[in-house]
Chain A
Amino acid sequence: MRAGFLWGLAWRSAWNRRFTLALTVCSIALSTFMLLGVERVRTDLRSSFSSAVSGTDLIVGARTGSVQLLLYSVFHVGAATNNIRWSSVEALERLRGVAWVVPLSLGDSHRGFPVLGTTPAYFEHFRYGEQQPLALREGQRFKDLYEVVIGAELADQLGYRIGQRIALSHGTGEIQFGADHSDKPFTISGILARTGTPVDRTAHISLQAMQALHVDWVAGTPLPGMRIGAEEARSRDLQPRSVTAALVGLHNRAAVFSVQRQVNRFGDEPLMSILPGVALDELWEVVGTGEKALLLMSGLVALVSMAGLMSVILAGLNERRRELAVLRTVGAGPWQVLALLALEGSVLTLAGMALGIVALAACGLALNPWLQAHFGLTLHLGQTTPLQWLLLAGLLAAGWLASLLPAWRAYRLSLADGLSPRT
């Protein structure tokens, strides 16, 4: 018997049961979609998390926990317990091996988005993801004292345009009455391109502007009866006295531990320095339980979908017993019946997997802007992880085995069925 005839028979038989089979294909597609999707989200969640900062060799701050320092300096979450003196920043710059120092001053906010006071060097040296530098989507860096450069998400969420004037507020909460800096409004000079990192949610101003905002403040409140206007503040001494933290770049990464030791033994005030990568890993240890939960979910989805696949195929077999029996009595050998079922199983599984992958790609394309805007998460659907390949292979194997099991049953049953019809 020619293989072409068997193919044709498999096709005609499948077409005859196309509605049931379409359901099977859809269920396989759904499984594929879920498995690959969850794995993709998991991977990209981690990478988008760990891409928050790169190219920085050390982060320096007052003595605290390394995770806490990372949280407030990079993720702008929480508050520093202590600041570091400006003289210490200057001392850092003089350390041997240090290429650049970018001071960071935090504590203010704009409608819940953090405000970061820094130097123009920030735009030169800050890197995220794969050593990518910051880029301006529109406008330019801050030049004037009262100019601000805002992140893409902040701009998009609040609908801000270049040249618009905004007021910053003291503290990191939503707007607080009596504690805002509305007397010194800022003009938006630039909007940064999207990075998928906390930078997108941040308003960047100069250290001097940060100083000017607080020139008439003491201990977190405005000095009563001593308001200094925006223009008057320009003439004051705006040299910052302290900053929250500093990013440090080295000429040679090999020197990182020696510089770290020097910082940690700094004489004038207690300082600590952390390696961003190490601290990110520590932080991931803390928040990574969510990742493990996702992984567990992937596993359960895989299990359920494979069991579903097998039950659909087994249920289909009962409706096919008669058909297989007829085939056996007109001379189809058991191996041909086996081949027929295995062929159908693998084609169905492959079709379902292909459909699932296409659906995932389509969904990814459609949802990526939304995910980016709301979760700062970029799905890299074009990339594959080793686990994804493993999952695909597992699905294919399960689909194939799920079709072989009924094939084996049919192998045993079909002839006896055929000659003494019970169905």
Chain B
Amino acid sequence: MAGALLEVKDLRFAWPGSAHDCLDIAALQVAAGETVFLHGPSGCGKSTLLSLLAGVLLPQSGRVALDGVDWGELRPAARDRHRVDQVGYIFQQFNLLPYLTALENVLLPCRFSTRRREAAARSARSLRAEGQHWLGGMGLDAAVSDRPAHMLSVGQQQRVAAARALIGRPGLVIADEPTSALDEDRRDVFLDLLLSACAEAGSALVFVSHDRRIAPRFGRQVSLPAINRAAVGMQAVA
């Protein structure tokens, strides 16, 4: 799978000061446009893995490459640029700048990334229309787009965050338990919208959750404890 969008090989990572590896993963690949459900119990290193995938953390050894570029070979500024060019990120909550409108929040990556701005402009609409397109894709109408973010409900905020992750069609969208603050109905609606928007953008999605009930909706399910050789050792110790 040499053409994989995201490629992890022989990754070993330990937190500073820790005697044991936190993560030890032989191989993990995500193809372009693929949707991956990453699950595992709390504290198994899911968020740490996401930080490694996004180049926020670097492994002690091994390779994490996004779009053919190894994070470890980039200088910090180049990592920042590569990240905003290639990765859209959705947190559990508090995704937005409260003083900007929903639309302005969506357009933020285009302000900082030339690639995302040009990609957004290529869709032959204005930047504003493109932002509204993705807001619409996440089921938010034009009335919401000019409302300040702090006046939106939690569910609306998560949808704005998703629209922001997708604008400019980055290769990879990382979602770190984005539905944990939503009730079941809104969770399902959010998932429907997110998956179809990712499909439209052509972006791969790595979706982390401990909620196994939504796993079947993804193209592939990955259990972190199953691929993490460090976890076996930890369980043996425990």
- A residues near B, CB below 8 A? 1-2, 5, 9, 12-13, 15-16, 322-323, 326-327, 329-334, 336, 415-416, 418-421, 423
B108 CB contact (under 8 Å) in A330, A416, A418: A330
Instruction: List chain A residues, Cβ under 8 A from B51.
Output: 416, 419-420
Instruction: List chain A residues, Cβ under 8 A from B83.
Output: 331
B3 close to A (CB within 8 Å) = no
Known interface pairs A333-B80, A419-B54, A419-B56; A323-B93 also in contact (CB < 8 Å): no
Min CB distance B8 to A, Å, is 17
* Complex Cα spacing A2 to B83, Å: 19
Does A12 contact B99, Cβ atoms closer than 8 Å?
Answer: yes
B89 close to A (CB within 8 Å) = yes
Instruction: List chain B residues, Cβ under 8 A from A423.
Output: 94
Instruction: List chain B residues, Cβ under 8 A from A333.
Output: 77, 80-81, 112
B-side interface residues, number (CB < 8 Å): 31
Instruction: List chain B residues, Cβ under 8 A from A322.
Output: 94
Q: List 7 A-B contacts (CB under 8 A).
A: A2-B111, A16-B99, A323-B98, A326-B94, A416-B51, A419-B50, A419-B51
B97 close to A (CB within 8 Å) = yes
Known interface pairs A330-B164, A419-B56, A421-B93; A13-B112 also in contact (CB < 8 Å): no
Instruction: List chain B residues, Cβ under 8 A from A327.
Output: 97, 108
* Complex Cα spacing A169 to B51, Å: 92
Min CB distance B3 to A, Å, is 26
Min CB distance B156 to A, Å, is 16
Does A5 contact B56, Cβ atoms closer than 8 Å?
Answer: no
A421 CB contact (under 8 Å) in B81, B92, B112: B92
* Complex Cα spacing A16 to B94, Å: 16
* Complex Cα spacing A416 to B51, Å: 8
Per-residue 0/1 for B60-72: is the Cβ within 8 Å of any A Cβ (1 yes, 0 no)?
0000000000000
Known interface pairs A16-B99, A419-B176; A330-B47 also in contact (CB < 8 Å): no
Instruction: List chain B residues, Cβ under 8 A from A421.
Output: 91-94
Min CB distance B170 to A, Å, is 10
Does A420 contact B47, Cβ atoms closer than 8 Å?
Answer: yes
Min CB distance B44 to A, Å, is 14
Does B112 contact A332, Cβ atoms closer than 8 Å?
Answer: yes
Residue of A nearest to B92 (CB): A421
Known interface pairs A330-B164, A420-B51; A16-B80 also in contact (CB < 8 Å): no
B29 close to A (CB within 8 Å) = no
B111 CB contact (under 8 Å) in A5, A16, A334: A5
A13 CB contact (under 8 Å) in B47, B84, B99: B99
Instruction: List chain A residues, Cβ under 8 A from B100.
Output: 12
Instruction: List chain A residues, Cβ under 8 A from B80.
Output: 331, 333-334
